[in-house]
Amino acid sequence: MSQMIEVKVPDIGDFESVPVIELFVKVGDTIAVDDAICTLESDKATMDVPSSAAGVVKEVLVNLGDKVGEGAVLIRVEAAGAAAGAAQA
């Protein structure tokens, strides 16, 4: 049993729309919690966005140059079922 988890842009401060300047994942990649998904660039700094879920990337919903804000869905991850979640804990 697996479930799809949406990984979203976390709170990035006072910025409503910042460009994606680098992508680190593609469909089929296996990622862990805190793995970098992409880099965002504001006027003052760049920020790597970490994954909030572990599993296999099923969809990448952003491209280089896309502008995103807090809460925007970056990727969809197929996570293993509850048994795998318990094993990781």
Cβ pair 17, 69 in contact under 8 A? yes
Q: What is the pLDDT of residues 28-47, one digit of tens each?
A: 999 999 999 999 998 888 99
pLDDT of residue 33: 95
Domains defined along the chain, listed by start: 2-82 (2.40.50.100)
Q: What is the pLDDT of residues 49-82, one digit of tens each?
A: 999 999 999 999 999 999 999 999 999 999 865 4
pTM summary value: 0.83
Partner residues linked to 36 by β-bridges:
50
pLDDT of residue 85: 45
C-alpha–C-alpha distance, residues 65 and 19, integer Å:
5
C-alpha–C-alpha distance, residues 15 and 62, integer Å:
17
C-alpha–C-alpha distance, residues 31 and 24, integer Å:
10
